[in-house]
Chain A
Amino acid sequence: KNQVEQSPQSLIILEGKNCTLQCNYTVSPFSNLRWYKQDTGRGPVSLTIMTFSENTKSNGRYTATLDADTKQSSLHITASQLSDSASYICVVSDRGSTLGRLYFGRGTQLTVWP
């Protein structure tokens, strides 16, 4: 069964600190992995995308890593800001369908305190 598991479920950090979010998946055949940021009451917005051959991708203070052998990914946030408070969702796409079906994790709810 294709699944995406994220940890921790929730995280509270102080402004300026770094944090790392984890994602494990069993989706096969693998196409790509995205990290999305979803603010409360809004739709998800893509932060990074990685294909099988990529093991790291940065977008400003966000750095994602991918280990396709162990089927694990992480999202590292550097020097956190209050605006980073959101749900971070790991999304894996398979290449076994023309739809490009997405498999969503439940997200990590990050809260940044001043």
Chain B
Amino acid sequence: EADIYQTPRYLVIGTGKKITLECSQTMGHDKMYWYQQDPGMELHLIHYSYGVNSTEKGDLSSESTVSRIRTEHFPLTLESARPSHTSQYLCASSDGKAAPSHNEQFFGPGTRLTVL
């Protein structure tokens, strides 16, 4: 079992609320990622980070923002949640020093977000 944690596991909130999804890993990995996954669909990369103070947008446009102040922590924030943000959000990390051919991403359990 990978040492990567996400909280909360489930969140139901009203439109317009500000939320932060937490992600922490204890493996000392440099690279961290946020994915969005809808039922029956593939994972889409929305944010990633090469290390502290590094954040980049992924393939799927997202209104969320991320920060990377500490190696182990990579929170995702939505300033004003909308029903279109309802989805599962998965955090992952990988060892930036590993050879690219074996650079495995370890996933957290996910946060299921529902915006009413």
Contacts and interface: CB of A to CB of B under 8 A. Distances in A.
Contact of A44 (B9, B107, B112): B107
Interface string A73-114: 000000000000000010001010011111011110100000
Interface residues of A, number: 26
Interface in B85-116: 90, 92, 94, 100-110, 112
Given A106-B42, A107-B42, A43 B92 contact: yes
Contact of A31 (B9, B43, B50, B101): B101
Contacts of B50: 98-99
Given A41-B112, A43-B108, A106-B41, A100 B92 contact: no
Nearest to B59: A101
Interface residues of B, number: 26
A100 B110 contact: no
Contacts, number: 60
B29 interface: no
Interface string B65-100: 000000000000000000000000010101000001
A32 B101 CA distance: 6
A43 B100 contact: no
Contacts of B42: 4, 89, 104-107
Contacts of B100: 31, 93, 95, 98, 100
25 contacts: A9-B40, A34-B104, A41-B109, A41-B110, A41-B112, A42-B110, A43-B4, A43-B108, A44-B90, A45-B107, A46-B106, A49-B104, A89-B42, A89-B43, A95-B101, A99-B50, A100-B31, A100-B100, A100-B103, A102-B43, A102-B105, A105-B42, A106-B40, A106-B42, A107-B40
